């Protein structure tokens, strides 16, 4: 790397799927990845390198700008079954208006073996050649990491100066994008997601895996909210790294081999359970509230309205009261088999001090339903 023969690029912690993870979890792939790149190369990486992801969310430019990334590269959009992607080199504008420089390949697949027909197809498919007469051709065997061989290097050397053939020269991705950035004002703008007309079934298969993945995302965010409320700072990076590992573009979509899920699905479930126990322990009896009083905890950073109630166990009585710290909102016993109330829950910034149980969980006095929140029973 010091001699310029290798360049560490990529930005994200893994080659994450960008459609299925929630925004917070995808952002952690960026932040943890950039921390690793700073250690590896002394500065954040500049190029988001995602050659094999099944579509690209429109929030990526915003996340890139927030984490110091300037450029985006992929070749996957060339796989679309019907419509050709309309541009090759362009400004990609995200949902919030953030813009990054992007380059996508039109005629290149997994492997770049420097065959003459492949190099010529790539040059002919470059739609902005009138603005920037270069395109990036990744060389070597991909989808397994075989890399460049001596044969590929020799073929590229022989093709470098043939009359009537595209000129070939070795270079690094960041240098290519730096030259492209000089033509920024001349580039077209593409706004929105990159929709891949292929692999679409990966968003609906392995429902149990996707549910476990989403459960772990929620558990991690609730665990952090509980730490904020309790005023502690546990190191949750190892848990985030394992969850982000599951973001890998062949893991969470369901396109990996069976052994991945035989090992990974129990891990996701176990980690979510452990985080829930840790949050419950963190919040139990905090701030001097009496033990044994059911209450609600809002893990979000904004106040929210929720509906609590419904579906008591047979033979169980409704709770005599539902205490909410700070706002002191009380639900009195309603003396029937169903009850409910609409309430405004303060944000986590209100520093509630409560004990955690999962959403829709049974408690000794009945059942409360709270989606994306925490049901509390302090015992």
Query: Active-site residues: which are they?
Result: 52
Question: Would you state the structure tokens that stand for residue 209, as one six-digit string?
Answer: 């895996």
Element containing residue 345 per DSSP (H, E): strand 340-345
Cα separation, 198 vs 53, whole angstroms: 11
The CA-to-CA distance between both ends of the chain, in Å, stands at 57
Tell how strand 89-93 and strand 99-104 pair up: antiparallel
Cα separation, 210 vs 227, whole angstroms: 26
The stretches of the chain forming alpha helices (DSSP H) are 23-41, 60-66, 116-125, 150-159, 173-181, 207-230, 237-245, 258-283
Cα separation, 169 vs 152, whole angstroms: 13
Element containing residue 305 per DSSP (H, E): strand 304-309
Cα separation, 170 vs 153, whole angstroms: 10
Closest CA to 274 of 263, 282, 262: 282
Cα separation, 63 vs 112, whole angstroms: 29
Sign of CA dihedral 77, 79, 82, 84: positive
Q: Where are the beta strands (DSSP E) in 40-180?
A: 47-49, 71-74, 89-93, 99-104
Can you tell me whether residue 295 is helix, strand or coil? coil
Instruction: State the virtual CA torsion across 92, 97, 100, 106 in degrees, nearest 10.
Output: -10
Can you tell me whether residue 89 is helix, strand or coil? strand
Q: What angle do CA 27, 205, 360 make, to 5 degrees?
A: 70
């Amino acid at each position: 790397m010091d001699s310029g023969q290798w360049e560490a690029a990529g930005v994200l912690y893994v080659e994450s799927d960008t459609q299925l993870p929630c925004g917070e979890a995808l952002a952690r792939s960026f932040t943890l990845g950039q921390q690793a790149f700073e250690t590896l190369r002394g500065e954040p990486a500049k190029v988001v390198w995602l050659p094999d992801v099944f579509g690209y969310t429109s929030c990526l430019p915003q996340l890139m700008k927030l984490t110091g990334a300037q450029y985006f590269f992929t070749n996957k959009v060339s796989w679309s079954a019907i419509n050709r992607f309309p541009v090759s080199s362009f400004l990609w504008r995200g949902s919030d208006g953030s813009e990054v420089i992007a380059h996508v390949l039109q005629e290149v697949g997994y492997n770049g073996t420097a065959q003459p027909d492949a190099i010529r197809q790539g040059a002919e498919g470059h739609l902005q050649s009138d603005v920037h007469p270069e395109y990036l051709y990744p060389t070597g065997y991909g989808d397994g990491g075989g890399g460049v061989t001596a044969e590929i290097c020799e073929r590229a050397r022989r093709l470098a100066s043939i009359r009537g053939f595209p000129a070939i020269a070795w270079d690094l991705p960041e240098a290519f994008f730096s030259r492209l950035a000089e033509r920024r004002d001349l580039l077209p703008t593409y706004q929105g997601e990159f929709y891949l007309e292929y692999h679409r079934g990966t968003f609906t298969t392995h429902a149990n895996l996707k549910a476990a993945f989403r459960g772990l995302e929620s558990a991690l965010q609730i665990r952090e909210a509980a730490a904020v409320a309790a005023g502690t700072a546990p190191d949750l990076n190892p848990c985030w790294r394992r969850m982000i590992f599951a973001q890998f573009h062949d893991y969470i979509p369901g396109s990996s081999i069976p052994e991945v899920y035989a090992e990974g699905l129990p891990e996701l479930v176990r980690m979510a359970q452990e985080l829930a126990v840790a949050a419950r322990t963190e919040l139990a009896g905090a701030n001097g509230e009496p033990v044994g009083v059911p209450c609600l905890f809002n893990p979000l950073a904004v106040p929210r309205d929720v509906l609590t109630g419904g579906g008591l166990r047979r033979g169980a009585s409704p709770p005599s009261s539902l205490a909410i710290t700070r706002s002191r909102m009380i639900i009195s016993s309603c003396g029937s088999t169903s009850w409910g109330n609409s309430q405004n829950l303060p944000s986590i910034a209100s520093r509630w001090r409560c004990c955690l149980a999962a959403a829709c969980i049974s408690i000794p006095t009945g059942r409360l339903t709270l989606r994306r929140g925490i049901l509390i029973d302090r015992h």
